[in-house]
């Protein structure tokens, strides 16, 4: 057998195997990739919020199939007779850029799309490009509403506080703070306990799978304060914490965006962190003003060795 024949046979086998994989095994029909200047966690949250909004906007119902925080989401979308699957892979490129790759499958027309999408500007292809362009535009608009400045390694101050313990989904942390603000500040006022600093939020448990947090909403008070027994309001010392620090500028409702930035920074620079952020809010939202100027100091402690 000549060398040319061997090459031809090997090439034919390769092409045949590729076609079998592409047409019969490959799970997605078409893939769209793009980059955004955001942390992986911000993109992850953005995907879930955007797909939830699609139900109201376009009557598309998205159901979660699988997820892996903060780098993978697989969803099924149904709208009348249409049934689609979306597989989102989220990868941190560096401290400020994330790559998003979206694998798309039309369950009812998969083979046709695999044959046509790479070569023709089909309706399926145009619709998916339109949809993900819309998602990216919405995400970029959201990113204009806040800014995160990484400070690097640092240490927080030890602080004596009065606090209440709360629990919420991650996205509703600020709402729970606002709802309970009058309760704790009213207690301190009634008992003539002076507030001597800006409030803190101390995360005591962060369940990434359920996207819930347990946290203490805290107000600094004098260390010599006489402790008053109460079922709701408690007293404690928040110890000094060594970890990675950042300053967040924006609405407190989305201060977790700074957590995601610090987690990506830690992964890219070899740090190990506990999922226990400590936030101090330096601006009072009740005073109004430009949200992009609201300042929050954040530190996430290093994991114990």
**One-character DSSP codes across 72-88:** EEEEEEEETTEEEEEEE
For residue 284, give both structure tokens. Answer: 């009072």
Residues of the chain whose pLDDT is less than 50? 9-10, 13-25
Per-residue exposure over 113-132, b if at least 16 CB sit within 10 Å of its own CB, e if not: bbebbeeeebebbeebeebb
What is the residue extent of each domain of the chain?
A: 24-144, 148-301
- pLDDT value of position 14: 42
Fold of 148-301: Multidrug-efflux Transporter 1 Regulator Bmrr; Chain A (3.20.80)
- pLDDT value of position 17: 41
Please, are residues 221 and 81 in contact by the beta-carbon 8 Å criterion?
Answer: no
For residue 15, give both structure tokens. Answer: 């092409």
φ and ψ at 296, to 5 degrees? -130, 130
Residue 279's H or E segment, with its range, is: strand 278-281
| Cβ count near 257 (within 10 Å) | 24
Please, are residues 200 and 156 in contact by the beta-carbon 8 Å criterion?
Answer: no
Please, are residues 84 and 106 in contact by the beta-carbon 8 Å criterion?
Answer: yes
Q: What gap in Å lies between CA 140 and CA 269, rounded to an integer?
A: 26
pLDDT, tens digit, 9 for 90 and up, residues 162-195: 999 999 999 999 999 999 999 999 999 999 999 9
- pLDDT value of position 28: 78
- pLDDT value of position 88: 97
Q: What gap in Å lies between CA 58 and CA 79, rounded to an integer?
A: 9
Fold of 24-144: Alpha-D-Glucose-1,6-Bisphosphate; Chain A, domain 4 (3.30.530)
Domains 24-144 and 148-301 share a fold: no
Nearest-5° angle of CA 210, CA 214, CA 219?
Answer: 150
Whether omega before 284 lies within 30 degrees of 0, making that bond cis, reads no
- pLDDT value of position 6: 56
Q: Within the chain, what is the greatest distance between any pair of CA atoms?
A: 98
Please, are residues 162 and 124 in contact by the beta-carbon 8 Å criterion?
Answer: no
Q: What gap in Å lies between CA 68 and CA 277, rounded to an integer?
A: 20
Q: Which residues contact 294 (CB under 8 A, 6 or more apart)?
A: 249, 250, 251, 252, 281, 282, 283, 285
For residue 214, give both structure tokens. Answer: 């347990």
């Amino acid at each position: 057998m000549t060398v040319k024949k061997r090459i031809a046979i090997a090439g034919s086998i390769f092409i045949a195997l590729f076609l079998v994989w592409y047409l019969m095994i490959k799970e997605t029909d078409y893939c769209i990739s793009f980059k955004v200047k955001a942390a992986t966690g911000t993109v992850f949250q953005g995907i879930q919020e955007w797909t939830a909004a699609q139900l109201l906007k376009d009557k598309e119902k998205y159901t979660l199939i699988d997820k892996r925080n903060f780098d993978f989401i697989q969803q099924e979308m149904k709208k009348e007779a249409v049934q689609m699957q979306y597989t989102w892979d989220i990868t941190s490129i560096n401290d400020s850029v994330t790559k998003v790759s979206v694998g798309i499958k039309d369950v009812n027309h998969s083979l046709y799309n695999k044959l046509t999408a790479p070569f023709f500007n089909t309706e399926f292809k145009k619709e998916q490009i339109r949809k993900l362009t819309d998602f990216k535009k919405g995400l970029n608009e959201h990113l204009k509403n806040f800014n995160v400045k990484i400070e690097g390694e640092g240490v927080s101050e030890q602080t004596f506080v009065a606090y209440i313990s709360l629990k919420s989904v991650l996205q509703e942390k600020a709402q729970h703070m606002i709802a309970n603000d009058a309760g704790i500040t009213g207690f301190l006022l009634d008992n003539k306990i002076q507030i001597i600093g800006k409030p803190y939020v101390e995360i005591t448990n962060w369940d990434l799978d359920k996207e819930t947090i347990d946290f203490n909403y805290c107000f600094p008070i004098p260390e010599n304060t006489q402790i008053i027994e109460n079922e709701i309001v408690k007293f404690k010392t928040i110890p000094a914490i060594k970890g990675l620090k950042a300053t967040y500028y924006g609405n407190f409702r989305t201060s977790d965006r700074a957590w995601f930035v610090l987690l990506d920074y830690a992964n890219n620079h070899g740090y190990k962190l506990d999922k226990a952020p400590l936030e101090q809010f330096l601006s009072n939202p009740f005073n109004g003003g430009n949200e992009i100027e609201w300042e929050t100091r954040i530190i996430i402690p290093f994991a114990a060795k």
